[in-house]
Amino acid sequence: MKILLAEDDPLAAKFTRKGLEQSGYSVDCVDDGRDAVNACLYTHYDVIILDRTMPGLDGLSVVKALRSSDIKTPVLFLTAMIDVDDRVEGLMAGGDDYLDKPFHFSELLARITALSRRHVAVAETTKLTCGKLELDLHMRVAKRDGQVIKLLNKEFALLEILMRNEGRIMTKTVLLEQVWDFNFDPQTTVVETHISRLRTKIDKPFGQHYINTVRNVGYVCRVSS
């Protein structure tokens, strides 16, 4: 499970990140509200842990920006703003849960588990679609115009990331991290190679491209005109 931790207190961020990673989570940390929004635009997270008071954008503004961008990732406010009005304001802005500082780490872990379970039960889909392209996540079958397209495991994983983020540009760095789980290497051509294979299978036979290149930025899945 991948978590975004948005916390501007260095000691609190270090403590929380260490505990989460020791519990088996993959954690990205930011200390600025704008960085939190940008991270969510380009990376899929399972849970976002968000402080209410941060530079750039405060926690409420971050949540509102995410929800307006149709990002439904569960948000847990972890904050010292503990008045009832603060809680109501945070939940009404689009937050999913609220935990006061200081906190017991076991309670944080329990709330993360509950949030992720609730999100999967409510929001998880078994199929992704983009135009006439379908991806069945349970059967691990890709179809276009009703025709089954055979994909290798990494091709399927790459297409899934692109389709989950339909309309959003995914950089080479993000794709390397999410599909191959390694950091950016300017020399590797693994992303370009797999994109080319995907296009050969799902685009070229049908005459309309769904996987588009944004030059010097990355790739985006969308129905081209």
What CA–CA distance (Å, rounded) separates 205 from 21? 44
Q: Are 23 and 17 in contact (CB under 8 A)?
A: no
Domain match, 17 and 118 both? yes
Higher pLDDT, 84 or 76: 76
Domain match, 58 and 150 both? no
Domain match, 180 and 201 both? yes
Domain boundary among 123, 153, 187: 123
Strands (DSSP E) along 14-140, which ranges? 26-30, 47-50, 75-79, 97-100, 127-130, 133-136
What CA–CA distance (Å, rounded) separates 104 from 90? 21
pLDDT confidence band for 212 (50 / 70 / 90): very high
- Render pLDDT for 108-160 as a digit per residue (tens, 0 to 9): 999 898 887 766 544 556 789 999 999 998 788 999 999 999 999 899 999 99
Query: Does the model's pTM come out above 0.85?
Result: no
CA 122 to chain CA centroid, nearest Å:
17
Average pLDDT score over the chain:
87
Residue 4 is predicted with a pLDDT of 95
What CA–CA distance (Å, rounded) separates 82 from 98? 9
Domain boundary among 75, 95, 123: 123
Domain match, 166 and 86 both? no
> Would you say residue 40 has pLDDT above 80?
yes
> CATH code at 78?
3.40.50.2300
Residue 119 is predicted with a pLDDT of 64
Mean pLDDT, residues 37-64 taken together: 90
Residue 144 is predicted with a pLDDT of 94
Domain match, 70 and 37 both? yes
Domain match, 12 and 116 both? yes
How many CA within 13 A on the CB side of residue 93? Answer: 23
Residue 124 is predicted with a pLDDT of 53
Domains contained in the chain, number:
2
Domain match, 203 and 190 both? yes
Share of the chain above pLDDT 70, in %: 93
> Would you say residue 103 has pLDDT above 60?
yes
Domain match, 57 and 156 both? no
Q: Are 7 and 13 in contact (CB under 8 A)?
A: yes
Domain match, 68 and 131 both? no
Domain boundary among 62, 90, 123: 123
Residue 198 is predicted with a pLDDT of 95
> CATH code at 210?
1.10.10.10
Domain match, 103 and 17 both? yes
Share of the chain above pLDDT 90, in %: 42
187: CB partners within 8 A, 6+ apart: none
Domain match, 194 and 97 both? no
Q: Are 52 and 9 in contact (CB under 8 A)?
A: no
The boundaries of the domain holding residue 150 are: 127-221
- Render pLDDT for 181-208 as a digit per residue (tens, 0 to 9): 666 566 788 999 999 999 999 999 998 8
Domain match, 72 and 141 both? no
